[in-house]
Amino acid sequence: MALRRSTWLDGYYCKVRSIANANPLNPRSDRDITTFQRGSKSSPYTPSPVSPWIISSPCLRYPSVHTPMYKRVAQLSITPRTPLNAFRPPLGTMPPFKRKASGPAAAPLQKRQCAALPNPSQYNDSTNEIKYGIVLRKYYPPEMTNDRAREYISGKIERPIEALNKAIHETQAARDNVPVGDSVVHWYKNDLRTLDNKSLHLASEKAKTHGIPLICVYLVSPQDFEAHLTAPVRVDFILRNLQVLRQSLAELDIPLYVETIEKRRNLPPRIMELCSRWRANHIFCNMEYEVDELRREAALTRACIDKGISFTVVHDTCVVEPGKLSSGAGGQMSVYSPWHRKWCAFLNQYPKELDCFPLPVRNPPHARQSFLELFDCDIPDAPESKCLSEEEKKRFRALWPAGEREAHDRLSRFILERVGAYHNTRNTPSASGTSILSPHLAAGTIAARTVVREARSAAPNQKLTDDRKQGHSMWIGEVAWRDFYKHVLCHWPYICMNKPFKPEYSNIEWEYDLDQFQKWTQGRTGFPIVDAAMRQVAHMAYMHNRCRMIVASFLAKDLLIDWRMGEKWFMEHLLDGDFASNNGGWGFSASCGVDPQPYFRIFNPLLQSEKFDPHGEYIRKWVPELAEIKDSKGIHDPYGRGYEKIAKMNGYPRPMVDHKTSRDRALARYKQGIGRETA
């Protein structure tokens, strides 16, 4: 076990006083380890009174775009559950502004001491983080202190990735000497594929060498889904991918055993129990980079060796593993552009990093008979709090077919038909210019390594560059953003503890107007491009990346609502939810994250709408109240450009704020927050 700020987020933090004699798999059993749990399950958000059926259901309702508008608006109200983070789809669009910077990124706190920073109390349940549901109080304490964030930056506190690397190094000799046993286990997590899967390949080779069966296992953890704020649509996608994966493995006589573990603290001991039952002395899995997962794997590495089991954790999620790239001074870089150049140079220098790991070999003939009950294992239904309605299941299964074959087909079509023009079409939400592979990358049905390799092979010069005028390079750069945010998470782990990357931004006074927040979630802001984007999420559980930046900037700067509420809402509603990418995207838009746009750069939603949806096609598709407006200028601002009658007749709201006034307010609030002296 360990720190649990859950794979996706909000704030969590585990205070360790002494770990010398602690049980690493059950911190609560040892008095020397203090964990803080969050209280109530209830969300602070109130569902719309016109949709009482939502109140009786814990599930998110995604209304169909064909539902009558008065019903659809009601159905978009905030649900009793908490929402959350998953920003830029890794293959969406690159942030438009890149500031020039160089050198190691230790700077956020070490060089910027212009303001005294508040140190929020970890015991104060009256904070806005708790009051407005930003922090899932059941599992995590309030916001981490700035002093503790500084200790992570300075290295005074061991980073979770360092703890895992240390455990791997210190147990290496003992693990090398573990006898093979009667089977080998591969533990599936966010890597639901058979091809180009490093851990699965290593496990298969170990089994093949010794002539023993390979067993695959996936452990469903409802508490992890809850703590990670995983969207119901994403849970459904995971379970459907498990169905496809089970069939693919069965064709190779490899069983996939799936079991639900109700208490997440029981997950590590359960994996060891299963190994004992199957007489497997070797477990392999791919590494996850969120804080609590890293600490769990570090503890499990040591606990397994104490029981005579070799637990092998390998890098596979990123194309280039965290820690491989550094600045001239030897530190992790926090600016994307120079980091990306090093990323490209590294892969050009070491092209074998992109080599494909083959499919696992077929199990021995006796495997199916020996483990017959494992082949009969059922894939469980979604936990009650993560269920979809029958209509939602039907819609999402049509929109998002599951399986690695679907992922590879999608990639092939994109490379064949659209990647060459990606640099010209990536920012147009009405065009089919992007790959929409982010849900498959998040579920691991295709490897990031695979998509980079295939795109590079199709590129004119078959080299990785940062050329923004070439479609293949631009698209590969989007995959690199995914790596970048995971590298940042490993080096600055406090970002998944409810802290902005730049802790001095903790001083900004945010608004917590739930009525305005609800209008934003419903797509009822009166800004057509914002509303179209939010309604796309309601119907598809997906949003174009340019639109993600627009709606995030609108929430954080036009409405001045705490960006973490939006980060949270995204994670709870998006199919491609990924903590690192989502947190990085929201930090970019709110100007408090790694390599952000400057705080004084505030998107004008009208100008963004005119630039990236010039003919209004995207707006007409998702905002049917305005579909009658054929004027490509008027549709972006119906109340200000002569179409008030149509908008009013169809129930479309007036703009909820004046952008110029909101912009001035945001600039003043940011300046005050960043520069003021605070005790």
| Backbone φ, ψ for residue 281 (5° rounding) | -100, 0
Q: Is residue 475 marked as binding?
A: yes
Token look-up 């295939």 returns 454
577 assigned binding-site residue? yes
Tell me: is residue 261 an annotated ligand-binding position.
no
Q: Determine if residue 599 is labeled as part of a ligand binding site.
A: no
| DSSP state at residue 84 | B
438 is known to lie in a ligand binding site: yes
Residue 203 Cα distances to 105, 200, 300, 391, 630, angstroms: 37, 5, 18, 40, 59
425 annotated as ligand-binding: no
Backbone angles phi, psi at 247, to 5 degrees: -65, -40
Structure token digits, residue 159: 């980073």
d(CA 473, CA 480): 10
DSSP string, 351-385: GGGGPPPPPPPPPPTTHHHHTHHHHTPPPPPPPGG
415 is in an annotated binding site: no
- The reply to whether 478 sits in an annotated binding site is yes
Q: Is 485 annotated as a binding residue?
A: yes
AA letter at 194: T
Residue 376 in marked binding region: no
Q: Are 119 and 97 in contact (CB under 8 A)?
A: no
- Angstrom distance (rounded) from CA 296 to CA 23: 12
| 435 annotated as ligand-binding | yes
Q: Is 248 annotated as a binding residue?
A: no
Question: Is 362 annotated in some ligand binding site?
Answer: no
Confirm whether residue 639 is marked as ligand binding: no
Q: Is 578 within any annotated ligand binding site?
A: yes
To the question of whether residue 283 is assigned a binding role by annotation, the answer is no
Cβ density class 245-258: b for 16+ within 10 Å, e for less = bbebbeebbbbbbb
Q: Which residue numbers are catalytic?
A: 478, 481, 510, 545, 563, 586
Do 129 and 262 meet the contact criterion of CB atoms below 8 Å apart? no
Three-class DSSP labels, 173-239 = HHHHCCCCECEEEEEECCCCCCCCCHHHHHHHHHHHHHCCCEEEEEEECHHHHHHCCCCHHHHHHHH
Q: Which residues fall in the annotated binding site for FAD?
A: 422, 434-438, 475, 478-485, 576-578
The annotated binding site is made up of: 422, 434-438, 475, 478-485, 576-578
